[in-house]
Amino acid sequence: MPVEEDSNAKAKKDGEVLEQFLKIGLDERTAQNVLANSKVTVNLLEVIREAEIQEGCGKATGNLLYTVSTKYPTNALEHRPRLLKYVISNKIKSNPQLEAAFGYLSVVGSDKFDADIFEDKCGIGIDISPDVIKVTVERVLQNNMELILAQRYRMNVGGLLGQVRELQPWADGKIVKEEMDTQLKKILGERLPEDEEKLVKKKKEKKPKAEETKAAADTPKMDSDKITPEDSNPFAIFPKPQENITVHTEIFFSDGSIWRPRNSREKLQKHLYATGGKVFTRFPPEPNGYLHVGHAKAMFVDFGLAQETGGYCYLRYDDTNPDAEKLEYIEHIQEIIGWMGWKPFKVGFDDASLFLYHTFFSNNVFECNGSDSFVLEMQITFSSDYFQELYDLAVQLIKRGHAYVDHQTSDEIKEYREKKLDSPWRDRPVAESLKLFDDMRRGMIEEGKATLRMKQDMKNDNFNMYDLIAYRIKFTTHPHAGDKWCIYPSYDYTHCIVDSLENITHSLCTLEFESRRASYYWLLEALDMYLPYVWEYSRLNVSNTVLSKRKLNRLVTENWVDGWDDPRLMTLAALRRRGASPEALNAFCRGVGITRSDNIIRMDLLEHFIRDDLNKNARRSMVVLNPLKVIITNFKDSVVEELEAKSWPEGKDGDPSSTYKVPLTRVVYIEKSDFRLVNSKEFYGLSPGKSVLLRYAYPIKCIDVIFKENTQEVIEIHAEYDQAKTTKPKGVLHWVAEPSAGVDPLKIEVRLFDKLFLSENPGELDDWLADLNPNSKVVIEDALAVPALKHAKIGDKFQFERIGYFCVDRDTTAEKLVFNRTVTLRSSYPKDLVPQS
Ligand code: ATP
Ligand code: MG
């Protein structure tokens, strides 16, 4: 019977096919399912044939073959046998690897298959040990601990596994899952009944509309605290550490070749293993001067990115030039960075993952202090800490044929660079360079007689590839490294290597370094080291000042200003002394943004941010700068009336001391400029016959004017006050009264500052010192203040009503208070130009 025969034959055939499927380790159910789908069956049989499997294979391999049969891209069938070889030989062992392979093969085309790229993309040869998986899982759990403790077993474990996969895409998923379960159990213990309940998702709370705070009339509408991270995240432009495998730079060589630097998968994995996938940045000042507002921007970028992403930022003293560097600067830099609110990271063993421990230990740079508390004091580094590693790597570089000892003088080097000519020493034997480099190190060669140069590309279009100097001889003691060395590495040689050794993820610097990117990557590649992601942003320039440390140094050492913290300078020490807060400076940096366009920021934009902050944080007080005496003739001579004045226009945070006492007596002082003999429509001050209000007190009316004998100079006003306050005066004046009859008010010194230079961009002028503003500092020795100011301490900030914002200067003594004007009350900066994000 043919039908029966047919079905028998089919059953027999199915049996054989099933047997083949079982032989490659599929479980019975999967095998049956495959069998039920003729298309998959055909595919899988084809895959088994292509894989040349005779005697079956293990379950893991079989599962991969099954995945190939169901998911392999149909446009790349020609490459399938190749892929199967990798699977059978156990080089591709996981689904993520397979997926990476599918991705590559589906786009590679017919004849472009490149085994190196393929293996790199698939993570072939990268073995992720159970130990690494363990620490990765630990790290991820630590990062999510708050949520884990809150949601316990109802937590989305898939999400956690995904985070592990991001860090270690080639790790064995099964081991990861088991490790995750074990560790979760260790943290949470046994399951509780509540763990079975459904997680109720909280509705996103609607944000209450921002309370409309009445901005003081003198501040522009835009408010720096409206720039929230949500509105503008200037760091969103940076890639994640995991993404540092793609190319973002092309380097052109004179032989026509183009190199696109990128990390191999393996290098990136090693790096991610060391950092736990965290962002690592560094702020690398050279300790050759005080930090300025430009450095505030650099810190905002470096520390800010790390903070934004939950990463870490090193403070790294870039101290390769012992000539200009001083201990004073090292100490100051550290102190001012702390003042700016940035903390170089510090990791203790308890809260640090093993990753960090790993990095720092394997770099062999840091020390631990004892076994119990095991704190790694690693937050601050010096390039000079790495002098030994740098030296060893230089030897490597010579051995690899990428560096040579040169004897050209600096003039010859310059000339040869201009002519794009090789140095005559360029091709000397490696052994000779090694020997000479050793001689250099041992002090056997005179200063200037030899350098170590990188063998880059003397005919490149980029002059920063003209065999840059790696080492030079200098018989100078180093402020940090002492006198151990007489050869010192250059910036170009040092910076990239230390970045790589410290596993910096994002090496961010200013645009003048852009042309050095090629050399940066060239050197790391020549040493086969990890390549950080390099990106440049524009330098901050501020109008009417200079920021270069060289120029600042001249201003200070030649006494054009009174020291590094002269309030007219834009050093951070000066801005602090002048009364700017770190919050204001950081808000300014955020406002300016991290752009690549070079421009000069107007000083008044900086002042806007400072003013905005002081408006919220400076107490009000009353001071008369240029006093004019007013006698209130109808006020009793011996009476002192204690009035209450407001410390804040609207009270501050329920502060009980938000008022202060002001005495009113018969003798009061107002500003000279608040009196005019001839009144006019736009004048709000006092004039003969006119009434004005003394703020927090009474209206007064001018009834007489006393002149200095035989002159037109007004020396005293007589006025009457309206105790019932029935008059409606036109203006409101600040004032200071004698605290009691015949006692002078508190005298203070007030320093008014203006722009230090007359031109917008003095740095460009040949004779830039001639551009100094002769009126940049005006000192008022005898201003009068209300008694409440008597207790002001150095650094305290005030708004002197109607005058401006002031800060107590460090020149203050027990005898005399000295105030710096931080900024005036009114902004000259156009409101619509204030950056909104
Ligand atoms: P200068 O030219 O003023 O002497 P520098 O570049 O030599 O400054 P460093 O101490 O080397 O100063 O700088 C430390 C970091 O601060 C570097 O990353 C540098 O790019 C950055 N930086 C320096 N000046 C500015 C600026 N005006 N704006 C933004 N970043 C700056
Ligand atoms: Mg520098």
Select the more confidently predicted residue: 507 or 208.
507
Probe ligand 1: pick from 510, 552, 590, max atoms within 8 Å of CB?
510
- Indicate if ligand 1 lies below 6 Å from the C-beta of 298: yes
Q: What is the CATH number of the domain that holds 94?
A: 1.10.8.1290
202 is catalytic: no
- Indicate if ligand 1 lies below 6 Å from the C-beta of 548: yes
| Nearest alpha carbon, ligand 1 atom 10 | 285
pLDDT reading at 229 higher than 60? no
Question: Do 630 and 509 share a domain, yes or no?
Answer: no
pLDDT reading at 206 higher than 80? no
Instruction: Name the residue type at position 252.
Output: F
Q: Are 666 and 694 in contact (CB under 8 A)?
A: no
DSSP state of 123: T
Domain that holds residue 83: 18-121
Does residue 347 fall inside a structural domain? Answer: no
583 is catalytic: no
Q: What is the CATH number of the domain that holds 493?
A: 3.40.50.620
* Least confident range of 79-83, 159-163, 583-587: 159-163
- Indicate if ligand 1 lies below 6 Å from the C-beta of 286: yes
708 is catalytic: no
C-alpha 413/C-alpha 362 separation (Å) is 38
Task: Give the pLDDT confidence score for residue 368 in this predicted structure.
Answer: 36
Probe ligand 1: pick from 317, 539, 572, 590, max atoms within 8 Å of CB?
539
Task: Give the pLDDT confidence score for residue 193 in this predicted structure.
Answer: 81
Task: Give the pLDDT confidence score for residue 505 in this predicted structure.
Answer: 96
Question: Do 524 and 404 share a domain, yes or no?
Answer: yes
For residue 535, which ligand has an atom nearest its CA?
1
Q: Rounded mean pLDDT of 67-92?
A: 90
- Indicate if ligand 1 lies below 6 Å from the C-beta of 510: yes
Q: From ligand 1's centre to the CA of 582, what distance in Å? A: 18
What digits encode the pLDDT tens for the residues 625-670?
999 999 999 999 999 999 999 998 876 666 656 899 999 999 999 9
Helix intervals (H) in 451-557: 491-501, 517-526, 549-557
CB within 8 A of 655, min separation 6: which ones?
Answer: 647, 648
C-alpha 155/C-alpha 83 separation (Å) is 37
CB within 8 A of 663, min separation 6: which ones?
Answer: 640, 641, 642, 643, 737, 738, 739, 740, 787
For residue 313, which ligand has an atom nearest its CA?
1
Task: Give the pLDDT confidence score for residue 832 in this predicted structure.
Answer: 59
CB within 8 A of 467, min separation 6: which ones?
Answer: 406, 422, 423, 426, 453, 454, 455, 456, 458
Q: Rounded mean pLDDT of 587-605?
A: 89
Q: Rounded mean pLDDT of 385-399?
A: 97
Q: From ligand 1's centre to the CA of 831, what distance in Å? A: 29
Strand partners, 642: 663
Q: Rounded mean pLDDT of 369-397?
A: 75
Task: Give the pLDDT confidence score for residue 490 in this predicted structure.
Answer: 97
Does residue 397 fall inside a structural domain? Answer: yes
In the chain, pLDDT over 90 holds for what percent of residues?
A: 62
Question: Do 437 and 531 share a domain, yes or no?
Answer: yes
Does residue 409 fall inside a structural domain? Answer: yes
C-alpha 23/C-alpha 39 separation (Å) is 20
Q: Rounded mean pLDDT of 612-619?
A: 93
Does residue 640 fall inside a structural domain? Answer: yes
Task: Give the pLDDT confidence score for residue 651 in this predicted structure.
Answer: 63
β-pairing, 380-382 vs 312-317, is parallel
- What does the block give as tokens for 107? 């786009």
Probe ligand 1: pick from 292, 295, 517, max atoms within 8 Å of CB?
295
Does residue 319 fall inside a structural domain? Answer: no
Task: Give the pLDDT confidence score for residue 81 in this predicted structure.
Answer: 93
Mean pLDDT of the chain: 87
Q: From ligand 1's centre to the CA of 383, what distance in Å? A: 16
Distance between alpha carbon 231 and the CA centroid of its chain, in Å? 18
Q: From ligand 1's centre to the CA of 547, what distance in Å? A: 9
Select the more confidently predicted residue: 227 or 551.
551
Q: Are 719 and 789 in contact (CB under 8 A)?
A: no
What digits encode the pLDDT tens for the residues 149-180?
888 888 888 888 888 887 888 888 888 889 99
Task: Give the pLDDT confidence score for residue 222 in this predicted structure.
Answer: 31
Q: What is the CATH number of the domain that holds 714?
A: 2.40.240.10
For residue 300, which ligand has an atom nearest its CA?
1
Q: Rounded mean pLDDT of 277-306?
A: 95
- Indicate if ligand 1 lies below 6 Å from the C-beta of 294: yes
In the chain, pLDDT over 70 holds for what percent of residues?
A: 89
Question: Do 517 and 654 share a domain, yes or no?
Answer: no
- Residue 602: pLDDT band with limits 50, 70, 90: very high
Q: Which of 489, 521, 537 is the last residue of a domain?
A: 537
Name the domain count of the chain.
3
C-alpha 591/C-alpha 613 separation (Å) is 13
pLDDT reading at 375 higher than 50? no
In the set 266, 286, 716, 760, the catalytic residue is 286
In the set 80, 262, 549, 616, the catalytic residue is 549
- Indicate if ligand 1 lies below 6 Å from the C-beta of 539: yes
Does residue 613 fall inside a structural domain? Answer: no
C-alpha 826/C-alpha 805 separation (Å) is 10
C-alpha 524/C-alpha 507 separation (Å) is 13
C-alpha 187/C-alpha 228 separation (Å) is 35
Q: Which atom of ligand 1 is nearest to the CA of 513?
A: 20
What digits encode the pLDDT tens for the residues 114-135?
888 888 888 888 878 888 888 8
Residue tagged 């830099």 (tokens):
333
Q: Rounded mean pLDDT of 315-336?
A: 90
Q: From ligand 1's centre to the CA of 573, what distance in Å? A: 16
pLDDT reading at 221 higher than 60? no
Does residue 130 fall inside a structural domain? Answer: no
Strand partners, 624: 784
Task: Give the pLDDT confidence score for residue 2 in this predicted structure.
Answer: 54
Q: Which atom of ligand 1 is nearest to the CA of 508?
A: 18
pLDDT reading at 833 higher than 70? no
Q: From ligand 2's centre to the CA of 151, what distance in Å? A: 49
In the set 417, 539, 551, 777, the catalytic residue is 539
pLDDT reading at 218 higher than 70? no
Question: Do 394 and 532 share a domain, yes or no?
Answer: yes
Q: How far is CA 815 from CA 540, 586, 781, in A?
A: 40, 35, 13
Task: Give the pLDDT confidence score for residue 216 in this predicted structure.
Answer: 30
What is the number of H-type helices and E-type strands within the chain? 24, 31
Select the more confidently predicted residue: 805 or 373.
805
Q: From ligand 1's centre to the CA of 331, what distance in Å? A: 17
- Indicate if ligand 1 lies below 6 Å from the C-beta of 284: yes
pLDDT reading at 351 higher than 70? no
- Indicate if ligand 1 lies below 6 Å from the C-beta of 123: no
Q: Rounded mean pLDDT of 592-611?
A: 90
- Residue 108: pLDDT band with limits 50, 70, 90: confident
Which one of 65-79, 164-178, 236-250, 693-707 scores highest in mean pLDDT? 693-707
Q: Which of 734, 760, 782 is the last residue of a domain?
A: 734
pLDDT reading at 462 higher than 70? yes
Does residue 533 fall inside a structural domain? Answer: yes
Query: DSSP for 342-410?
Result: -----EETTTS-HHHHHHHHHHT---B--SSS-EE--SEEEGGGGHHHHHHHHHHHHHTTSEEEE---H
What digits encode the pLDDT tens for the residues 514-531?
999 999 999 999 999 999
Q: From ligand 2's centre to the CA of 601, what distance in Å? A: 21
Cα dihedral value 311, 317, 320, 326, nearest 10: 180
- Indicate if ligand 1 lies below 6 Å from the C-beta of 514: no
Q: Which of 734, 758, 778 is the last residue of a domain?
A: 734
Task: Give the pLDDT confidence score for residue 327 in this predicted structure.
Answer: 85
On the CB side of 769, how many CA atoms lie within 13 Å of its CA?
11
